[in-house]
């Protein structure tokens, strides 16, 4: 008998928000099974359930222990998978739901942003071989001491792609409330255009710079293990966006997408003693506090003093502030904090071979009278921090300037 193909289907929160949507997801899974596939479904918590659970936690403790937070948040996904299994069984197909712990999705112990270390694919395969659709709770794992962990907000995408890699799945479909990856968030810029394909490198930058459509870590898995990811709508059968290594015309496209990250804080250490070892001291202390630091800028002000600034996600802000307050006397500096900022980025592999992109970005913002707080770049992106209240305006003006409201073939600079 020919070996069956394995399909992983992931359904996000809005795609399982109520009974009707759960039944719709169940039908998609059954259709894939009837099409000759072994099917693994990864599901998120229903609708805004994770937000509600966080609110519940904050009502009883404004600073809840992170282990208990994971214990609580994981219940959102656990509800969905059992309901989905019931719906599938109700439609006459065999199904079984599993938690992250039950499939031995082993992670490190960094609660609320754990990283996957290994998955025992044999536990899932055993059920698949019995003709069951296996429904796995996304976003959660278990550490080596059996504590429940979660992978960070939006982490079900990572569960799905990591499972697709571990099972050597033939397809990995991410069903969501948009019909693919757009040039920017269509909720902010309604003229954004859907992309047929996007490279791992570009979507990885977009995801880590605020494009919430995919969890950044999921793309790292996809790229490393060659999982072709198909982002598509749970409400239609339309082809969505393929995330893959090669994209035709890639070098000719100056800017593929733009993002905004509002969930950010900037920390500046001013007047740090300019001597070897001080940057190491600061960042070692932040690492010890398990703070993930983005975009570090250090500038020498004089032979005696230097300024260092960096950004952190809002979720890490309290820990970062505590760590900086502890270390600042040791490096003899003052610390300033800004939470009223947004980071606007433009991303494109084509930037490697084109000049003038930075100029066009800065002059577009200048025309809109938007002040730039700081600038960071990589080979394929430029990011500016701006006042949060000007963030959407900045994003929209850049989308228009780089013609992100037009299909690639219609953009004036694409040959
Ligand atoms: P799910 O619950 O299915 O995981 P998410 O809310 O996490 O869905 O992600 C889908 C949302 O991501 C869309 O509704 C859209 O507003 C937002 N988004 C942000 N940037 C983009 C982009 N570049 N392309 C498509 N959607 C985007
Ligand atoms: N339920 C989790 C969240 O809301 C994980 C996910 O949806 O991917 O962040
Ligand atoms: Mg999501």
Check if 11 has its Cβ closer than 6 Å to any atom of ligand 2. no
> Is 60 exceeded by the pLDDT of residue 415?
no
> Is 80 exceeded by the pLDDT of residue 249?
no
> Is 60 exceeded by the pLDDT of residue 80?
yes
pLDDT tens column, 113-171: 999 999 999 999 999 999 999 999 999 999 999 999 999 999 999 999 999 999 999 99
Listed range (168-182, 204-218, 327-341, 351-365) with the worst mean pLDDT: 351-365
Structure tokens at 411: 């953009």
In ligand 2, the atom with minimum distance to the C-alpha of 159 is 8
Ligand 1 mean position to 185 CA, how many Å?
7
**Computed from CA positions of residues 292, 148, 99, 107, in that sequence, does the dihedral angle turn out positive or negative?**
positive
Ligand 1 mean position to 130 CA, how many Å?
35
DSSP string over 101-140: TTTT-EE-S-TTS--EEE--HHHHHHHHHTTPEEEEETTE
Using CA atoms, how far apart are residues 415 and 25, in angstroms rounded to an integer?
A: 41
Range 190-201 average pLDDT: 95
Listed range (20-29, 48-57, 373-382) with the worst mean pLDDT: 373-382
- Helix axis angle for 314-331 and 278-288, nearest 10°, is 140
What is residue 414's predicted lDDT score, i.e. its pLDDT? 58
Ligand 1 mean position to 221 CA, how many Å?
19
Range 34-56 average pLDDT: 98
What is residue 3's predicted lDDT score, i.e. its pLDDT? 80
Among the listed residues 71, 157, 66, the one whose alpha carbon sits nearest the alpha carbon of residue 112 = 66
Ligand 3 mean position to 103 CA, how many Å?
21
In ligand 1, the atom with minimum distance to the C-alpha of 12 is 3
Average pLDDT over the chain reads: 95
Listed range (249-263, 354-368, 375-389) with the worst mean pLDDT: 249-263
Where residue 175 falls among pLDDT bands split at 50, 70, 90?
very high
In ligand 1, the atom with minimum distance to the C-alpha of 206 is 23
Q: Return the percentage of the chain with pLDDT > 90, whole number.
A: 92
Structure tokens at 402: 């780089």
Where residue 111 falls among pLDDT bands split at 50, 70, 90?
very high
Beta bridge partners of 343: 261, 385
Task: Look at residue 257 and give its three-state secondary structure.
Answer: strand
Structure tokens at 129: 């071989």
Range 76-104 average pLDDT: 98
Check if 139 has its Cβ closer than 6 Å to any atom of ligand 2. yes
What is residue 1's predicted lDDT score, i.e. its pLDDT? 60
Tell me which residue has its CA closest to atom 5 in ligand 1.
213
> Is 60 exceeded by the pLDDT of residue 304?
yes
Domain 247-415, what fold? VC0802-like (3.30.2130)
Task: Look at residue 26 and give its three-state secondary structure.
Answer: helix
Q: How far is CA 57 from CA 50, 75, 99, 149, 258, in A?
A: 11, 13, 21, 16, 34
Listed range (36-40, 41-45, 313-317) with the worst mean pLDDT: 313-317
> Is 90 exceeded by the pLDDT of residue 354?
no
Check if 76 has its Cβ closer than 6 Å to any atom of ligand 2. yes
Ligand 3 mean position to 366 CA, how many Å?
33
Range 355-365 average pLDDT: 93
Q: Nearest bound ligand to CA 178?
A: 1
DSSP H or E run through 208:
helix 200-208
Among the listed residues 38, 68, 43, the one whose alpha carbon sits nearest the alpha carbon of residue 53 = 68
What is residue 153's predicted lDDT score, i.e. its pLDDT? 95
> Is 80 exceeded by the pLDDT of residue 278?
yes
Residue from 41, 50, 177 whose mutation best tests the ligand 1 pocket (most atoms within 8 A of CB): 177
Each domain of the chain, given as residue ranges in start order, spans 5-177, 247-415
> Is 90 exceeded by the pLDDT of residue 412?
no
> Is 60 exceeded by the pLDDT of residue 77?
yes
Q: CATH classification of 5-177, choosing from 3.30.365.10, 3.40.1160.10, 3.40.50.2300, 3.40.50.720?
A: 3.40.1160.10
């Amino acid at each position: 008998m020919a070996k069956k193909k394995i399909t992983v289907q992931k359904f996000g929160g809005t795609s399982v928000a109520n009974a009707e949507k759960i039944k719709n997801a169940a039908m998609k899974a059954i259709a894939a099974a009837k099409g000759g596939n072994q099917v693994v479904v990864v599901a998120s918590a229903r609708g805004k359930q994770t937000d509600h659970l966080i609110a519940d936690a904050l009502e009883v403790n404004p600073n809840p222990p992170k282990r208990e937070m994971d214990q609580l948040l994981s219940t959102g996904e656990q509800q969905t998978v059992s309901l989905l299994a019931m719906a599938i069984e109700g439609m006459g197909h065999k199904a079984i739901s599993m938690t992250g712990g039950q499939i031995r999705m082993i992670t490190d112990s960094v609660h609320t942003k754990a990283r996957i270390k290994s998955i025992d694919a044999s536990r899932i395969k055993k059920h698949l071989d019995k003709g069951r659709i296996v429904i796995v709770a996304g976003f959660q794992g278990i550490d080596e001491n059996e504590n429940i962990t979660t992978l960070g907000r939006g982490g079900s995408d990572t569960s799905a792609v990591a499972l697709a890699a571990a099972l050597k799945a033939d397809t990995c479909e991410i069903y969501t409330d948009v019909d693919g990856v757009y040039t920017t968030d269509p909720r902010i810029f309604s003229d954004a255009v859907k992309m047929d394909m996007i490279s791992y490198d570009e979507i990885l930058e977009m995801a880590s710079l605020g494009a919430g459509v995919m969890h950044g870590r999921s793309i790292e898995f996809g790229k490393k293990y060659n999982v072709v990811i198909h982002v598509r709508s749970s409400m239609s059968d339309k082809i969505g966006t393929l995330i893959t290594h090669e994209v035709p015309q890639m070098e000719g496209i100056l800017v593929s997408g733009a993002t905004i990250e509002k969930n950010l804080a900037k920390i500046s250490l001013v007047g740090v003693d300019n001597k070897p070892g001080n940057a190491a001291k600061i960042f070692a202390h932040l690492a010890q506090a398990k703070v993930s630091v983005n975009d570090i800028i250090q500038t020498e002000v004089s032979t005696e003093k230097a300024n260092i600034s960096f950004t952190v996600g809002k979720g890490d802000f309290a820990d970062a502030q505590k760590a900086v307050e502890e270390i600042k006397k040791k490096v003899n500096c003052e610390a300033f904090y800004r939470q009223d900022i947004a980071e606007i980025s433009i991303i494109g592999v084509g930037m490697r071979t084109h000049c003038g992109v930075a100029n066009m970005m800065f002059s577009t913002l200048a025309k809109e009278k938007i002040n730039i707080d700081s600038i960071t770049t990589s080979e394929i992106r430029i990011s500016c921090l701006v006042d949060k209240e000007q963030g959407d305006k900045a994003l929209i003006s850049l989308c228009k300037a780089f013609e992100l409201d037009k299909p690639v073939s219609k953009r004036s600079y694409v040959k």
